[in-house]
Structure 1
């Protein structure tokens, strides 16, 4: 992830800090403006940027202003343990129509989210649920296939990535327990398409890991029920 963030800083260095960032006079104070200029970009803290992230593109600053601060914003948001929420950042990127930015900028942003995705798949669901990050990704990305394909490969290589399998069970359970219609349709169809793989995985896990085997079987049965419900 560090490499992806460093690339982001390098690519977005072309966007200089504006002499003044326009903002609603009733919403943005002179002190707010000063906080954005109190330190070099890499040294800005969450307290300096939190209000700007919340107000960017609505009542404070434009797309170029967001692009200037984006490397530091993602630098702070990606770990997921601070006050700058990655969901908000994804929403701001969508509002900024980042998919129309220059190719190198799009690639740098994608690399950061791809790194976050891999890190999430390698964590336990209790630490950072992949199902919630999928909702975030769906806000910023029109196509989730690259992320889902990466997950599929980790499932096929479950021996090296057992947490990705537990994340899958957690995600499937969450989708089934909540209304599937509120989930991204691409995610729902991907889950259902993996039913045959789960049958294969269960056979592989029966003798290797009884706990995971039971989890896979339970997930399989839930998805079969979901498939029947979707087909109605």
Structure 2
């Protein structure tokens, strides 16, 4: 499933949520014009800037859990187009933190909503792995636990990473550019070496060859 298709599934899953008629907030948390837009503008026409303003204290102090579920598809849509942008990863973590908070408070999702978020997270991970590994190390993202908050397990995400055509490049980048976020503990060193060697010899003159070579050297020196 593409990221765009996964987002459309989120819109469908959360379509049952009613638009709020009132958003509880303190005057310093939202401007009157922002509240008016949130209550009257079509969901897909709410600007990314407004969504960031709303998200800042959403669920914690602004609005309710049902309000958040109504706006969630649009919140995610503002992140969809650039999964390789580190700022968007931080914003996705902001949303994940609301999901964690909701669980702690006993707030619920319907099974359809939960499934749509699970599929969205898998599609997001696939889109990240498809992009060149020059933004954030993949192990760091897994260690944050952001995507796991949406439903997938770490084991599922590791499996997708291991099977992805660019997976070895992402591992090499992590080992070379951010050693402390390098080899996931679930992967034996010998297995990682074999994987990186296969990727290197499959295209020894490719753009990732030097990074793969450097990663192999770093593992061999450990």
Bin of the TM-score, shorter chain as denominator length: 0.7 to 0.9
Over residues 59-115 of structure 1, what are the superposed CA-to-partner deviations in whole Å (9 max), with x where a residue is unaligned? 201211110000111011122369762221222222222995222111101111111
Gaps of at least 5 residues in structure 2 are none
1:132 Cα deviation after fit: 4.9
Mark the runs of 5 or more structure 1 residues left unpaired by the alignment: 155-160, 227-232
Q: Which residue of structure 2 aligns with residue 170 of structure 1?
A: 173
CA distance in 2, matches of 1:111, 1:83: 22
* 1:137-168 deviation line (CA, Å, top 9, x unaligned): 256558311111101112xxxxxx2x332111
Q: Does the CA-based 8 Å contact 1:125-1:166 persist in structure 2?
A: yes
How many residues end up aligned between the 2 structures? Answer: 211
Q: Which residue of 2 aligns with 1:152?
A: 162
- 1:203 deviates by 5.0
Are residues 106 and 96 of structure 1, via their aligned partners in 2, closer, same or farther at CA, if it must alter by over 3 Å?
Answer: same
Higher RCO, Cα 8 Å, sep 6+: 2
> Post-superposition shift, 1:215?
3.6
2:193 maps to: 198
> 1:105 corresponds to which residue?
113
Q: Could you tell me whether the CA contact under 8 Å between 1:57 and 1:63 is conserved in 2?
A: yes
The correspondence for 2:218, drawn from 209, 212, 222, is 222
Which residue of the partner structure matches residue 158 of structure 1?
A: none
Cα–Cα, structure 1 residues 83 and 201, in superposed 2: closer, same or farther, change >3 Å? closer
Q: Distance in 1 between matches of 2:149 and 2:214?
A: 30
CA contact (8 A) 2:121 2:150 kept: no
The 1-side partners of 2:174 and 2:34 are apart by 40
Find the residue that maps to 2:22 and give its secondary structure: coil
Deviates more, 1:211-220 or 1:2-11: 211-220
Aligned alpha-carbon RMSD (Å): 3.1
Go from structure 1 to structure 2 and tell me whether the alpha carbon gap of 1:37 and 1:18 turns closer, same or farther (over 3 Å shift). Answer: closer
Q: More deviation in 194-203 or 102-111?
A: 194-203
